[in-house]
Structure 1
Amino acid sequence: MRFVTLLMLVSTPLTSLACGGPEPDPAATDAISRERFIEAYFELRKVGLRSRGMDITLDSRDSVLAELGLTEADLLTFVDVWGDDGEMMISVWEEVDSLMMESRRAQGEVGEGVYGSSAEDGGRNDDGRDGRREEPS
């Protein structure tokens, strides 16, 4: 399964149901914890980013999940249970992104985020502007 497919599979409930309904009772479900989902997704992203074309093979995915004691079904169940809770899912993605940034910094890849500026480029974006947003006139 490709990383992009997993991202779409996980983010679709978030975007379509962001306003969400009542918060599910995690004790009444078979869903893994938020922390385990974040750990699994972080590990899968790291493998995907290291692979050619950022694709993760089924074998690689299954290997990563097996090391964590999880399955694809565990991730899908988490999304089924929590996908309606927009605030929760946003916090999940923010934490995954934060872990990715910490990992990059630890490896010497300084940066401020996917769309931010980095110390390496003098705080400039690709188009030469600084990282600040321009106010509309």
Structure 2
Amino acid sequence: MDINVSTPSILFPAISLLLLAFTNRFLALANLIRQLHDQYKLKPEPAVLAQMAHLRHRLLLIRNMQACGVSSMVMCIVCIGMVLLSQPNLALISFILSLLLMLASLALSLREILISYRALEMHLADIEELHRED
């Protein structure tokens, strides 16, 4: 496979958009954690403690998503450097690593979305249960 400078460059917009989306997820989660923290300080509830374990797991996933995304971007830059230094084998290896890191980032994102989905399903079920009791 022949790699030129434009090959890894096509990943820059995709990786940038992924990092933006991951940052937005992080900020939303950070706001939720801060709200739960304030709520728990006012009125400690066991349900909030149970949510914290899930939120901590999601926070870890988002951190790893961002780390893989940034690493993917770095490997794209390394790939461009290897192309410019006329090192086609190293360029190919760094490009493949970049793609694998992006794939890992997306897989972690999917895992985090599924956890978030399950948490929302639990809230909806709770609301429906409260509605049935009325």
TM-score band w.r.t. shorter chain: 0.3 to 0.5
Larger radius of gyration: 2
State the TM-score, normalized to the length of structure 2.
Answer: 0.33
What TM-score, normalized by structure 1, do the two folds share?
Answer: 0.33
